[in-house]
Amino acid sequence: MKLIEYWAFKVDDEWLSPQNCMGFDGKRHLYELKGMRVEEEVLVGDGVKIRLRFKGKRKGKVKVQMEVGINIRRWEENAHDRRYEVIGKRDGFLVKNELGSVRVGGGKFLRGGLYRRHLPGAYHDWDWLEEEQSVFVPGILEKEVDLRKVKEVTFYIEKRDFEPREMGFGYLSDFGFCYLAGFPWFLQFWTRDACFVMLNEIKKGNLKAVKEALLTISKFEKDGEIPTKIELNGKAYYYSVDVPGLFVISLCRYLEASKDKKMREKMRGLVNRILRKRMEGLIESYGKDTWMDSLERDGYCLDVQSVWAEAFRSAGKVYGRADWVRRGEKIVRVINEEFWTGDFLLDRLGEDDITANALFPLFFKQLPKDKARKVLKRLESEEFTTERGIRCRSSEDELYDPDEYHLGRVWGLLTGMMIVAEENYGRPEKAEKYKEIIERNKGLRCIDGVDETYDGDSLIPMGCCKQAWSEVWV
């Protein structure tokens, strides 16, 4: 849910604004007003507390007013025509619509009632993509502060009475439960992201939620194809070569962990439709249909072969199909023979790109120990490993660009996969080091959030500030 558009403070006749903001010290915004400094600190818990501290030579009484722009709506909505009911309280007000309510307190409520719309980007000097938003201003809260006695004042905002649509990245849409990919831009069900989340949720024992997510995605299967992305309005998009395979892997991991016989039989036909389309030869990619979807990667990609090898082997084991197991093992042999360079793995057959996609066969434990040790040693070196995690491309590759999405950035996904790879080959101490990296990455731009990517050289966080497949590994 979205609850509010903004809050704003006025101290006597001066708004706290960019014009009088002197900076941010990592915890507080600092404002210089007439004869005093005001520090604004935001504390986030079950709700939000905003604390103003007053410093300087100014004495006597000041009047503090707080204005809050309310916008109670669902993630997938923008401007709307909902109306609000306002209930004045002794030290604040309650405002609600049919979705829920927000309690705002800290001062005497002076009733207003203004409905309007705005474009949030109008207040900034950079390009902003957010759509027009609805705003309701119930009035203002006012509190008189005697600076001779009091040096701070606190206001608060609390959410109330909302239906339980969220659970971490889990979201209950009108057509079923699944996992959102990341905040603030990936508020859709991206199946590839959801599959990596589910693999971790299965290990943590959250089987009920995983089952619901699998069932939701399965509703959109069409002739053996699984959607890459499902909008929260139910519109689905199909364009990824690896996504159906990742879905099969997640499903089979769930079935192995849960022993859910009814689910196994329910999904038998779907799995058969997915796999029978890929029974011959290597799996070919076209254009931007791999996880590196900013790049044209035509041909036979390592990550794609690895995913499908695991999909066939897992499904063969769960459903007792020896032909599927043989198909998976054949692809594994190709990975170990045709993709092997002597100390690493090719990104694509016939190409000499050096990428972290060598992680995929390690993640699915498809390499023998001697080859795995060589690949891990190189991934652990400064060529790939940084203080923020694993680069998607070697810093020694001629195409390396630290600022480009799939040409050099550090990815939380790959760092998490490295944890599993180290564990697969009996290196728990190494795995722990990568877990520590993810722990250190928490909270850089979002409370408890782990970023989507980082610049490969400067290590500046980039992309979403809270990405599901970056933070599920620890």
**Structure-token pair, residue 237:** 């998009």
In 3D, which of 135, 152, 138 has the Cα closest to residue 64? Answer: 152
> Which residues fall within 8 angstroms of residue 380, CB to CB, at 6 or more apart?
430
Query: Alpha-carbon distance 220 to 238, whole Å?
Result: 10
* Residue 185: predicted pLDDT: 86
151 and 21 co-located in one domain = yes
CATH number, residue 263: 1.50.10.10
* Residue 74: predicted pLDDT: 83
* Residue 28: predicted pLDDT: 93
Q: 428, exposed or middle or buried, with CB in 10 Å at 0-12, 13-18, 19+?
A: exposed
79 and 148 co-located in one domain = yes
Q: Among 338, 360, 389, identify where a domain stops.
A: 338
Per-residue confidence in pLDDT tens, the chain, 474 aa: 789 999 999 999 999 999 999 999 888 999 999 889 999 999 987 789 999 999 998 889 999 999 999 999 987 788 999 999 999 988 999 999 999 899 999 999 999 999 999 888 777 666 656 789 999 999 999 999 999 999 999 999 998 766 555 557 998 889 999 999 998 889 899 999 999 999 999 999 999 999 999 999 999 999 999 999 999 999 999 999 999 999 999 999 999 999 999 999 999 999 999 999 999 999 999 999 999 999 999 999 999 999 999 999 999 999 999 999 999 999 999 999 999 999 999 999 999 999 999 999 999 999 999 999 999 999 999 999 999 999 999 999 999 999 999 999 999 999 999 999 999 999 999 999 999 999 999 999 887 899 999 999 999 999 999 999 999 998
Query: Alpha-carbon distance 51 to 155, whole Å?
Result: 6
Instruction: Assess if residue 170 is contained within a domain.
Output: yes
15 and 143 co-located in one domain = yes
Residue 410: φ, ψ to 5° = -85, 135
> Which residues fall within 8 angstroms of residue 165, CB to CB, at 6 or more apart?
1, 74, 171, 172
Cα dihedral sign, 267-272-277-282 = positive
Query: Alpha-carbon distance 456 to 444, whole Å?
Result: 16
Q: Give, in order, the Cα–Cα distances in Å from 63 to each of 39, 89, 138, 260, 357.
A: 16, 19, 19, 63, 60
* Residue 128: predicted pLDDT: 59
Please state the domain count of the chain: 3
**121-128: long-range pairs with CB below 8 Å, 24+:** none
10 Å Cβ neighbour count for 319? 18
Query: Alpha-carbon distance 24 to 13, whole Å?
Result: 23
Tell me how far the alpha carbon of residue 94 is from its chain's centroid.
31
In 3D, which of 358, 424, 420, 355 has the Cα closest to residue 383? Answer: 355
- Domain extent for 327: 164-338
- pTM of this structure: 0.80
Residue with tokens 């036909």: 269
Asked if residues 177 and 141 have their Cβ atoms less than 8 Å apart, the reply is no
151 and 175 co-located in one domain = no
CATH number, residue 116: 2.70.98.10
Residue 378: φ, ψ to 5° = -75, -40
Instruction: Assess if residue 69 is contained within a domain.
Output: yes
* Residue 359: predicted pLDDT: 98
Which three-class secondary structure state does DSSP give residue 289? Answer: coil
Asked if residues 391 and 440 have their Cβ atoms less than 8 Å apart, the reply is no
Tell me how far the alpha carbon of residue 220 is from its chain's centroid.
22
Which three-class secondary structure state does DSSP give residue 260? Answer: coil
* Residue 47: predicted pLDDT: 85
205 and 316 co-located in one domain = yes
Which three-class secondary structure state does DSSP give residue 348? Answer: strand
* Residue 164: predicted pLDDT: 52
196 and 250 co-located in one domain = yes
Instruction: Assess if residue 224 is contained within a domain.
Output: yes
**Phi-psi sector, 171: left (phi>0), alpha (psi -120 to 50), beta:** beta
* Residue 137: predicted pLDDT: 97
88 and 123 co-located in one domain = yes
Query: Alpha-carbon distance 38 to 52, whole Å?
Result: 6
For β-strands 108-118 and 133-146, DSSP reports them as: antiparallel
Strand order in the sheet with 236-237: 189-190, 229-230, 236-237
